Structure 1
Amino acid sequence: MMGTAERHRESGSGAVDGAAAAREIAPQGAAARRPVPRRPAPQGRVAVERESVEHEMAEQRPPLWVEEPARRRRLPDPVRTAAVRAVIIVALTLVQAMVAFLSALAGSWLSFPMVLSSVASTVVATWGVLDVWVTRQVWNQRYGVVSMPSSTARRLRRERRRARRQARAAARGKDRIQGRSGPGQLSHP
């Protein structure tokens, strides 16, 4: 059987891979665990050719990942905590229900206590899911619903504010004219 070193010699390349030759020669057992010395990096024309080939291959390869902007905003911390808690509780409840079902099929004494605890766990899981919803509503109410600047509510509020400001300015202007010069007189004395 021909080893790697012999194949390189017969192919005429003359360059023998040091690690491959060391693997061929190394005996099995305790001596095989010794670290294999690494060969030095090629220099000169071979190194330049290798770098250009690696560069071309890297250009042909698609990127490992493409960064995309998030579609939705991240959940607030209290809501995310409640959601994680609810997922864990629901997962444990499902496992418990499955154990109760399988032990009932097997006719085990464990089936009755597992069914009772599954009912209790279902109540707790329902509370956990409702807790996520309530926490989200409370957070939205406390810190405000995110609204876009072009929303209808903001536009209507802005128009009402502008109308009130204009009405106040008109009333002030009318009071100034009447208060300074008396009724019916428009010019200064």
Structure 2
Amino acid sequence: MDTEERRNEQSSERSARIPRQLWVEEPAERRRMPDPVRTAAVRAVLITSLTLIQAMVAFLSAVTGSWLAFPMMLSSVGSTVVATWSVLDVWVTRQVWNQRNGVVSVPSSTARRMRRERRRARRTARSGARQATRIRRRGTGGLSRA
């Protein structure tokens, strides 16, 4: 095997070994949540996780017979109500955001089709108005005034 053959063999080995990337970006399948909805969702997750921790502490203190069991149980019930309220807040915030900001336009959306029809109607009305003013100008422009 001569030097040239070895070089060709090494270069083919290098090209065969494609380095794997650690991070590969993929396009998002879903759009990002709006800011108010995302804020409410983060708040709900934090409250729910704290409620679960509190319930676990209440359970463990009840099992061990600690004096802390009864107050923790009462506060866990209250925290459960607050956590339920926060999850409902996410849903309500999402609904309000959708109502205020309209429909997401997708190609089959009714809203998009209606907007196109309104635009066409406005364009034809404007072009008709322009045509009418042009005709009037042409008709009066040829007359001489004494």
TM-score, length of structure 1 as denominator length: 0.52
Q: Structure 1 residue 159: deviation in Å?
A: 9.0
Larger RCO of the pair (alpha carbons < 8 Å, separation 6+): 2
Equivalent position to 1:75, from 33, 36, 40: 33
Q: Structure 1 residue 117: deviation in Å?
A: 0.1
Q: Structure 1 residue 113: deviation in Å?
A: 0.1
Q: Aligned-pair RMSD on alpha carbons? A: 3.1
Tell whether 2:8 aligns with 1:62: no
Q: Structure 1 residue 57: deviation in Å?
A: 8.3
TM-score, length of structure 2 as denominator length: 0.66
Equivalences for 1:82-161 in 2 at 5 Å?
Answer: 82-152=40-110, 154-155=112-113, 157=114
Name the SS of the counterpart of 1:86 in structure 2: helix
Aligned pair count? 116
CA shift in 2, pair 1:58/1:138, >3 Å: farther
Larger proportion of helix: 2
CA shift in 2, pair 1:128/1:58, >3 Å: farther
Unaligned runs of 5+ in 1: 1-51, 170-189
Which has the larger Rg? Answer: 1
Q: Structure 1 residue 59: deviation in Å?
A: 4.7
CA shift in 2, pair 1:159/1:91, >3 Å: closer
Counterpart AA for 1:85: R
**In 2: Cα distance, 1:127 partner to 1:141 partner:** 21
Unaligned runs of 5+ in 2: 1-9, 126-146
* CA displacement 1:113-165 (0-9 Å, x = unmatched): 0000000000100111011111111111111120213224544x369769xx6
Instruction: Percent identity, please.
Output: 75
Name the SS of the counterpart of 2:42 in structure 1: helix
2:103–2:111 contact (8 Å) kept in structure 1: no
* CA displacement 1:60-102 (0-9 Å, x = unmatched): 3212222110010001111101100000000000000001011
Counterpart AA for 1:115: M
**In 1: Cα distance, 2:34 partner to 2:116 partner:** 32
- State the partner residue of 2:138: none
